[in-house]
Structures are given as structure tokens and as C-alpha cells.
Amino acid sequence: MKRAVIVGANGQDGRLLYDLLLKNRYCVVGIDKNRIHHSPGISFKLVNICRHDEVACLIKKFKPHEVYYLAAFHHSAENLPDKNVELLRHSYDVHVGGLANFLEAMKIFSPKTRLFYAASSHIFGPAKGRLQDEKTPISPNCIYGITKASGVALCRFYRSQYKIFTSTGILYNHESAFRSEKFVSMRIVKGAINIKNGKRKELVLGDLDAVIDWGYAPDYVLAMHLIVNSKLPDDFIIATGKRHTVLDFVRTAFDHLGLDWKLYVKENCRMVRKQNFCRVGNPAKLKRITGWKPSVDFKEMVELLLARKGDV
């Protein structure tokens, strides 16, 4: 039976990945900031990923075949915090410091363990060109992107210097019913459902023309699993390669519910506190090497979100 550790197990991707691994008969330890949960028959105390001794103890004792480092500290474009120094420190601790503890513990106690690091399209900053791929220059312009880019660099360092299997997935926007309502996708879904049910009269959003590469989170979690089980470690874009605007999402959601979005949706660009850049990823390398492909298109994804959140 394979063993895996998921760091960030209570987030959207962590919850989906936990279920996927259990279906594949893995023995799983899931770590989050407030709790640890695991498959029956094993027991571990809560691990602080920022403490190298606690991480080392886990890796030494459990010797996982795979580690999925999904921990993230981020904010939506409409909820940017003012205290950047605190944000930088916390982001560095989560995106880089904790990762370093796992990589070092693997090097010493379990060198055959494979690690997947969840990076972000934000590492590209205001990327030029229609599509970004694995050769696109890394040029982040926000704290989230800067610290995620540092995590990518650290993975590459351990890959080249110590021959540790470390792969990175450069993730573009991906949605599921587990997505927090601070994200625009869920604001649209919940807003449309509430309007349909007569619980609210309007939905106010930021820039309706913002372009986003939107995918379905269960597909992206499958990509993580395929990447960490591929022959060689590498960096991969996880994206659809398709361009859609916030307005596309609104139209699709409201049309599916039989509503005229123009009667209910208002735009307030002052809600967006940072500039939105057009980032669309090219997943050709991922498809070629792992055989991955999305299971649903954009319209189907929005309809699935509406169906699942409508049951809540």
C-alpha cells in the first residue's frame, strides 16, 4: 500500500486529493494548520510545518512514497490586505519555509519520496503573450507570486543538487464546490442561486472583462497525481488553455438558472484593489507526458458548481 502526505489537506485541493488517494488505496496523512487526519490504523500528532524537527519526525517515521505540498496563503483580488510585511512573512513561512523542512527531511530520512509542489500562475506576473508555458520567464509582482516562485526555485535546487524527485505544478484558476466564497467564481454561483431563490435582488462584482483561465479542480488534482507518478520530475503548467471573462461566467450561470443577468448584476471596478493580468496557460507538456486532459469544459464546470452548491 502506498503512503502519502498531503500538506494543506483542508483546502479545496487537499480535500479532493485526499478522496482521490483513498480511492486508489493509499494510506494518507493529511496536515493542516489546525488538525491532522489520517487513514485508519495509523496515528500522528499535529505537525507544525514551520518546525523542522516535527516535519523530520513525520518523514522519518512514515516514510511516504509521495508528499503533496499544497499549503497556500493567499487572498482574492477583491480582498487585498493592507499589512504587506505581515503578509510577506506568513507567505514565506507557508510557501517556502515549510517546503524546505519537507525537502530537507526527505533528503536525510527518505530520499526516494516524491514531492509535488503546488505553484501558481502568479509567478509569471504581468506575463506577455497569449499563452504561458514552462519556458515563460518567472517575473512575479505580488507577494503571493514572489513566495510561490521561491518555492519553485527551491524544488529545482533539490532536484538538481540532491536528485530528490520534486515536481512543480503551475496551477491556473480551478474551481469546485469546496471553493471559498471570497473567490469570484463562488460569489457568482452563490449570488445567482440566491437570486433564483428570492434571497437577494442583485449581485455586485468587480471587473467583468477580466480574463481568466478557469478549470475544474478535480481534474487539476488528478494532474497532480499523474505528475508525481510520472517517470521524471519536472515543472508543468496545469491549465485549460482557454480564455474566459468574468462576464462569461456570469452569463453561463444565470442562463443555466433561467435568469437574465443584466437585470441583476452590477459592475463596480472599485472593488478590485489590484490589477488583473491576462494569464492563460498552455498544458501541452502535461498532456504529452502524462496523458492528462480536462474531463469537462467551461460550461459544464459552471453547471456542476451550480448543481452542487444548490444542494447546500
Which amino acid makes up residue 255? Answer: D
Summarize pLDDT for 138-191 with one digit per residue, the tens: 999 999 999 999 999 999 999 999 999 999 999 999 999 999 888 999 999 999
Sorted by where each begins, the domain ranges of the chain are 3-176+214-241+281-294, 184-209+244-277+306-310
| One fold for 3-176+214-241+281-294 and 184-209+244-277+306-310 | no
Q: How far is residue 243's CA from residue 249's CA, in Å, rounded to a whole number?
A: 11
Q: What is the DSSP letter of 305?
A: H
Q: How confident is the model at residue 130 (pLDDT cuts 50, 70, 90)?
A: confident
Summarize pLDDT for 85-114 with one digit per residue, the tens: 888 999 999 999 999 999 999 999 999 999
Contacts 24+ apart (CB under 8 A), 28-32: 28/3, 28/4, 29/3, 29/4, 29/5, 29/58, 29/62, 29/64, 30/5, 30/6, 31/5, 31/6, 31/7, 32/8
What pTM does this model have?
Answer: 0.93
Q: Which pLDDT score, from 0 to 100, does residue 161 have?
A: 97
CATH assignment of 184-209+244-277+306-310, among 3.40.710.10, 3.40.640.10, 3.20.20.70, 3.90.25.10: 3.90.25.10
Please classify residue 232 by burial: count the beta carbons closer than 10 Å to its beta carbon, then call 0-12 exposed, 13-18 middle and 19+ buried: exposed
221: left (phi over 0), alpha (psi -120 to 50) or beta: alpha
DSSP 63-111: --SEEEE-------TT---S-HHHHHHHHHIIIIIHHHHHHHHHHHH-T
Contact at 8 Å (CB) between 27 and 39? Answer: yes
Q: How far is residue 81's CA from residue 79's CA, in Å, rounded to a whole number?
A: 6
Q: How confident is the model at residue 312 (pLDDT cuts 50, 70, 90)?
A: very low
Q: Which pLDDT score, from 0 to 100, does residue 84 have?
A: 80
Q: Using CA of residue 239, residue 272, residue 177, residue 193, what is the dihedral sign? A: negative
pLDDT greater than 90 at residue 239: yes
Contact at 8 Å (CB) between 92 and 151? Answer: no
Q: Which pLDDT score, from 0 to 100, does residue 35 have?
A: 86
pLDDT greater than 90 at residue 277: no
Sequence-distant (≥ 6) Cβ neighbours of residue 281 within 8 angstroms:
121, 131, 132, 133, 170, 172, 213, 237, 238, 239, 240, 241
Summarize pLDDT for 193-231 with one digit per residue, the tens: 999 999 999 999 999 999 999 999 999 999 999 999 999
Contact at 8 Å (CB) between 145 and 125? Answer: yes
Q: Which pLDDT score, from 0 to 100, does residue 78 have?
A: 39
Instruction: At 269, list the grid cell.
Output: 471596478
At the topology level, CATH places domain 3-176+214-241+281-294 in: Rossmann fold (3.40.50)
